[in-house]
Amino acid sequence: MLSIIHNQRRPIWSASALVLWLIMFCTRPLDAEISSETDVLTGRVRSILESNCFGCHGANKTVRGELHLNTRESLLKGGAHGSVISFTLPENSALLRAIRYENLKMPPDAPLSPEDIAVLTEWVKRGVPWKGGSLEISQNSIRRTAISNEHWAYQPLSSPEVPDSQNGDWIRTPLDHFILTRLEQNGLSPNPRAGKVTWLRRVFFDLTGLPPTPEEVDAFIADETPDAFAKITDRLLSSPQYGEKWARHWLDLVRYAETDGYERDGTKANAWRFRDYVIDAYNQDMPFDQFVIEQLAGDEVNGVDSNTRIATGYYRLGIWDDEPVDPEQAFYDSLDDVVSTTSKVFLAMTLGCSRCHDHKIDPLSQIDYYQVMAFFHNTFQDIRQLKFEKTAFTLNTQTVIASDQEQVQYQIAQERWEKQRMVVDTELQKLESLFLESLPEKDKEASRDEHKQAELLEKVISTRPEAQRKRYEDLKSEIDLLDQNKVTPLPEALTIKENGARAPQTYVLLRGNAHAHGEKVEPAFPDVLGFDKPIFKPVDEEAPSSGRRRVFAEWVAGDENPLTARVIVNRIWQHHFGRGLVRTPNDFGINGARPTHPQLLDWLAGRFIEEGWSIKSLHRMIVLSATYQMSSKDHSQGLAQDPNNNLFWRYDLRRLDAEAIRDAVMSVSGVLNRQQYGPSVYPEIPPAVRAGASRPEDAWGVSTIDQQHRRSIYVFVKRSLMEPLMSAFDLADTDSSCPERFTTVVPTQALTTLNGQFFNQQASFFAQRLRDECGGHTVRQITRGLRLAFGRMPDDTEISQCVEWITKWKKEEGISQDQALLYFCLIVLNLNEFLFVD
């Protein structure tokens, strides 16, 4: 077959041979041959276009009908009459119609030969594969060698000496030397230390996402021992609230949501177990390298257990179309979600940009992309084999997580239950047939229809003897009772499962098109980092997975990987200081920002690895540093010389995140429910927001008030209906990895916090709390209210002013004391001093 196309003598094809050729070509399964076939095909297409079309539609600046056919982009763009290629209905592509002389007559002089038309038709059907990818790749590799030798992020970690800075008194932890030296070099001095209360509020929000209580503030002020700061730090790091705060940052990165998105936005059952796993991992200070390996290959590690399986839910969190228009493309979209997310989250590499072509900026080729994809290629079931009701995701994502003993117990109980039910059911059915037998002939016939049976039974039952009737009723209620007391199913988790030991062959997809296979590739690490080819242990034919991801995971988490430790250390720094040492936390590439303190970054990363990848130890060093303890106040010299605070001459003030706002409000109002873990909860949302869903009545669940007051990390994350209050305060977009939240300021936020139900309801809880704790004493109420919100003690003027307002409002507006207190509380919850952290 191939020889026919190769044949220079252009054999004259009979129509039947042509059809035969096309059928063979079109129905061939995608296999190893296809890339070379495609190569041949594209080569042939090129020669047809060159000899027949480029004269008028080539690379010249002005061409007929503004249609250039010399590049794939221009071909797809079409000309003055619109697009010429249709992927949805390839045969109808204007290009093909034109060469078939249907609408236009192209080429105008004489039609192409039937075989040329057949070749072009086949080529269009295959998604117009275009040769030239390999050319670009080779150009890129030339550029790559130059870049990889110098770009900072691809170099091994350096081990910088801690510099000597002059003002030794200022230093609290070694990292301060790095900061201070740079400030001194630039003639800047660090801001003075923030007050004790300011630091306390800062560290409370930073480590737990909640404000300190006035009692906690008092105790800290009273503690004058030298290790007062360290004691609080350790206490917060070991509180359960620590994991609830820091897990949220990780969930943003791994695009955590509990639904699939798209048309049905179906629920991802048990996704919340992944959320709980992350909370636990942070709380236990799980070494970060282990955390990485469990998420990427928890099903392939030694000692697989429930938790490591739950960790692999990581793969399943992304958007997923359960009714894709092009299932094959959708299959690769799912893989792309994994490649893009994984490379950004763990390596700060934008490898996703190389899906369709070589990376425009970074030395990452299209081949790199598909080599990395090959590690994951076996993780999604091929959706093409499945009807959409039973899709790859729903079929293959849930795993029972229970001990062997629990599984045995379950099985015994289940069998017992089934047996019991069968016994009762058998007797019941016998009795029913007996009843139906007694029906008149015409009804007997009708009773074969299941729908009518119940009705007829009802009718006949009254005619049966008392004893039979009673027995029948008893059996019915026995069945009901059994059905109500089913054996509790074993817990399941959202996990990954590979399709057996053999991974499919991976190909480069030309222009990212799932239907256009290019060259074969094998799993390999991005070339620019200069690692040897991965070595895979041979796996048993019967093994549940290929073992590829474990190799990838161990490479990511290996001490030699120049990126992993830098990336996570940068993220931890980012969430303490409002920005990373590298300001683009998901992109350490050429296009990303350079580290403002490269030596500090490397030193922190090196130390992080030495200390067993302990995140808590990193937190401790950061929050106890003088750098972290600086005041956030303005300083004219700093502002003049370094307005962006690149050098960290002060601690930057920042607004609380959406979750922290909601949690802090409930904490201050006294209703926060600190219950941990479990299925997500549904705070009430306004009907007006639900109206946006296509089924408003079923759009959102119901939780008790008590459950609605759980911390925000436990709120259900529904892609098509995000909780509106938090959404207004810049919740992460869940469709791709979110490295950093926006901080927008728009008038609708003010409407939410002034008029919205949540804030007003919380203000009334807050007012009630003040009455409960301070009786009817206005001054005490005000003082307590401000303290709860600010942490610090309000000064006398502030208190007397507020008291004055309350008196005035009562007089001028004729409102009650309670109402006035409510409005005071509403003001407090809206204050910048409450919603921002110094």
Closer residue to other proteins in complex, CB, 242/369: 369
Among 46, 56, 64, 86, binds other proteins (CB under 8 A): 86
Token duo for residue 133: 């990818």
- Per rule CB under 8 A, is residue 240 in the interface with other proteins? no
Question: Which helix or strand (DSSP H or E) is residue 406 part of?
Answer: helix 404-437
Tell me the C-alpha distance between 247 and 255, whole Å.
12
Token duo for residue 300: 């392939």
From the list 110-118, 302-310, 557-565, 628-636, the region that binds other proteins by CB under 8 A is 628-636
**From residue 486, how far is each of 400, 419, 420, 422, 473 by CA, in Å?**
17, 12, 11, 13, 20
- Per rule CB under 8 A, is residue 136 in the interface with other proteins? no
Q: Shortest gap between Cβ of 729 and other proteins (angstroms)?
A: 9
Position 813: which residue type? Answer: E
From the list 169-177, 223-231, 555-563, 819-827, the region that binds other proteins by CB under 8 A is 819-827
Token duo for residue 704: 């008790």
Taking a C-beta distance cutoff of 8 angstroms, is the pair 509, 517 a contact?
Answer: yes
Question: Which helix or strand (DSSP H or E) is residue 17 part of?
Answer: helix 15-27
Q: Shortest gap between Cβ of 359 and other proteins (angstroms)?
A: 8
Q: Shortest gap between Cβ of 778 and other proteins (angstroms)?
A: 15
Q: DSSP string of 112-155?
A: PPHHHHHHHHHHHHTT---TTHHHHHHHHHHHHHHHHTT-GGGS
Q: Shortest gap between Cβ of 537 and other proteins (angstroms)?
A: 34
Segment 568 to 607, residues that bind other proteins, using CB under 8 A: 579, 583-584, 586-587, 589, 591, 593
Of 505, 507, 514, give the one whose Cα is nearest residue 126.
Answer: 514
- Per rule CB under 8 A, is residue 81 in the interface with other proteins? yes
Exposed, middle or buried, 505 (CB in 10 Å: 0-12/13-18/19+)?
middle
From the list 37-45, 246-254, 551-559, 731-739, the region that binds other proteins by CB under 8 A is 731-739
Segment 649 to 688, residues that bind other proteins, using CB under 8 A: 653-655, 686, 688
Residue 51: how many other CB atoms lie within 10 Å: 12
From the list 6-14, 51-59, 393-401, 828-836, the region that binds other proteins by CB under 8 A is 828-836
Position 39: which residue type? Answer: D
Q: Shortest gap between Cβ of 216 and other proteins (angstroms)?
A: 22
- Per rule CB under 8 A, is residue 27 in the interface with other proteins? no
From the list 211-219, 562-570, 629-637, 773-781, the region that binds other proteins by CB under 8 A is 629-637
Of 286, 208, 201, give the one whose Cα is nearest residue 246.
Answer: 208
Q: Shortest gap between Cβ of 583 and other proteins (angstroms)?
A: 5
Tell me the C-alpha distance between 36 and 19, whole Å.
21
Exposed, middle or buried, 241 (CB in 10 Å: 0-12/13-18/19+)?
buried
Closer residue to other proteins in complex, CB, 297/821: 821
Residue 247: how many other CB atoms lie within 10 Å: 22
Among 12, 15, 80, 535, binds other proteins (CB under 8 A): 80
Strand, coil or helix: 186: coil
- Per rule CB under 8 A, is residue 733 in the interface with other proteins? yes
Number of residues that bind other proteins (CB under 8 A): 112
Among 465, 467, 745, 772, binds other proteins (CB under 8 A): 745
Closer residue to other proteins in complex, CB, 589/791: 589
Segment 793 to 812, residues that bind other proteins, using CB under 8 A: 805, 809, 812
Binding mask 761-800 for other proteins (x = CB under 8 A): ----------------------------------------
Segment 268 to 327, residues that bind other proteins, using CB under 8 A: 319, 321, 323-325
Q: Shortest gap between Cβ of 661 and other proteins (angstroms)?
A: 12
Among 249, 268, 719, 787, binds other proteins (CB under 8 A): 719
Among 384, 746, 779, 800, binds other proteins (CB under 8 A): 746
Question: Helices 615-623 and 598-610, interaxial angle, to 10°?
Answer: 130
Tell me the C-alpha distance between 23 and 9, whole Å.
23
| List of residues 6+ apart from 393 with CB closer than 8 A | 260, 316, 320, 322
- Per rule CB under 8 A, is residue 110 in the interface with other proteins? no
From the list 109-117, 239-247, 256-264, 307-315, the region that binds other proteins by CB under 8 A is 256-264
Among 171, 689, 774, 793, binds other proteins (CB under 8 A): 689
- Per rule CB under 8 A, is residue 26 in the interface with other proteins? no
Of 722, 726, 728, give the one whose Cα is nearest residue 692.
Answer: 722
Among 313, 547, 683, 756, binds other proteins (CB under 8 A): 756
